Amino acid sequence: MNRKLEFAKHGVKAIVLLEVSLLVCLFGISLVAAQGIESSFEIKNLKVEPNEAKVGEVVTITADVNNRGNTTSSYEVMLLVNDVKVDSQTVSLAPNETKTVEFIYVPIKEGNYTITIGDKFAEFKAIAVTEPKFRVGPVVKLQPVNDIISFSKDGLIELFFSNPDLNDGIMLSVEAWISVPAGIHVYGEGFASTTAAGTIYGQFEILPGKTRTIYVNIKADETTTGKSYFIHFSGLYYPNNNKDAFQPISLTHPFKVVEASPNPHDSAPTNPDKIPNIEPQAGGIVIGWSGVTLWIILAAIIFGLGLIALTRR
């Protein structure tokens, strides 16, 4: 009886050992099979573009996946950024087939990033966004030429801009408004009327190492005779298109009306000899002294030819 019991115990142990051995074998077979499936896929040509990107800029990641096995299989392509899984794609590939997978990643802070797909890795760098700034402050000022308006001459103010050469690669952009009192008429190179009553607007750009002078011609009608007024410039200037780095403009200059202008609604200056010859621009002064002289000469020639024709009859 004891022998039978002992034999039964040994039989149970043998069965348990056999079951454990079978489980270990099955686990080993599964592990080998899984490793065989995993190793049948190969990652090639991992690329990251650009390899230096600004924070917030899109980075494109591509890689080729090749099935080296003998059967059609699926494979999960995982994207790791600094060893953290951020995305994945599952591809199905026939034997010896290769497909290209693409991921998009946007860095949110500056630093070095390591991209890993399978057993391949690549790196890129994210840099902080720096807006352009003036190395040397520009010059923006009013230069009065004539602050008295009379029948024979207009008021004249120069709006002067200078962008120092040390601001290499940085454009000086200027937006300016001129508030015009009632009865006063302002004509300036590059300025045009806006929808706001009594306001004209101009926008200008000055290259590094360059200066620019905007000539503003001021006329008056009969309602302003004997009165004093102010011309007020307001606006802003900034480097390139970085309006967040703007500096305000606020410039005021007084002038007096002794007599009304003979032609206040005409943009041509009353005393063109005081206005430098400038290129015509929309909303600006388009006739300089040399232009007037040319028209006088042409008129004289035409008049002379007419007299010659009449004397020969």
50-92 pLDDT, tens digit per residue, is 999 988 889 999 999 999 999 999 999 999 999 999 999 999 9
Asked if residue 148 and residue 111 are part of one domain, the reply reads no
Between 71 and 129, where is the model more confident?
A: 71
Count Cβ atoms within 10 A of the Cβ of residue 27 and give its class: 0-12 exposed, 13-18 middle, 19 or more buried: exposed
Residue 235 domain-assigned (yes or no):
yes
Query: Please, which pLDDT band fits residue 197 given cuts at 50, 70 and 90?
Result: low
Distance between CA atoms of residues 48 and 79, nearest Å: 12
pLDDT at 281 over 70: no
Asked if residue 115 and residue 146 are part of one domain, the reply reads no
Mean pLDDT for 42-47 is: 95
In 3D space, the residue among 250, 189, 255 whose CA is nearest the CA of residue 226 turns out to be 255
The CATH number of the domain holding residue 277 is: 2.60.40.10
**Which of 3-12, 151-160, 213-222, 261-270 comes out lowest in average pLDDT?**
3-12
Please give the full DSSP string across 202-249, using - where no structure is assigned: EEEEE-TTEEEEEEEEEEE-GGGTT-EEEEEEEEEEEETT-GGG-EEE
The domain boundary residue, chosen from 127, 148, 179: 127
Q: How far is CA 123 from the centre of its chain?
A: 27
Residue 215: its pLDDT value, please? 87
pLDDT at 207 over 50: yes
pLDDT at 196 over 50: yes
Reply yes or no: is the peptide bond before residue 276 cis, omega within 30 of 0. no
| Count of domains observed in the chain | 2
Q: What percent of the chain has pLDDT over 90?
A: 42
Pairing mode, if any, of strands 148-149 and 247-257?
parallel
Residue 195: its pLDDT value, please? 57
Residue 163 domain-assigned (yes or no):
yes
Query: Please, which pLDDT band fits residue 9 given cuts at 50, 70 and 90?
Result: low
Asked if residue 278 and residue 149 are part of one domain, the reply reads yes
- The structure tokens listed for 56 are 């917030």
Asked if residue 53 and residue 187 are part of one domain, the reply reads no
Asked if residue 279 and residue 154 are part of one domain, the reply reads yes
pLDDT at 190 over 90: no
Query: Please, which pLDDT band fits residue 21 given cuts at 50, 70 and 90?
Result: low
The domain boundary residue, chosen from 79, 95, 127: 127
Residue 113: its pLDDT value, please? 96
In 3D space, the residue among 42, 34, 47 whose CA is nearest the CA of residue 95 turns out to be 42
Residue 211 domain-assigned (yes or no):
yes
Asked if residue 191 and residue 151 are part of one domain, the reply reads yes
Residue 28 domain-assigned (yes or no):
no
Instruction: Give the helix ranges, DSSP H, for the chain.
Output: 2-39, 289-311
Asked if residue 89 and residue 221 are part of one domain, the reply reads no
Asked if residue 113 and residue 244 are part of one domain, the reply reads no
Cβ(149)–Cβ(155) below 8 Å: yes
Asked if residue 201 and residue 103 are part of one domain, the reply reads no
Residue 157 domain-assigned (yes or no):
yes
Between 246 and 78, where is the model more confident?
A: 78
Asked if residue 172 and residue 121 are part of one domain, the reply reads no
Mean pLDDT for 171-198 is: 82
Output the pTM of the full model. 0.48
Asked if residue 231 and residue 195 are part of one domain, the reply reads yes
Asked if residue 176 and residue 155 are part of one domain, the reply reads yes
Q: 83: domain range?
A: 39-127
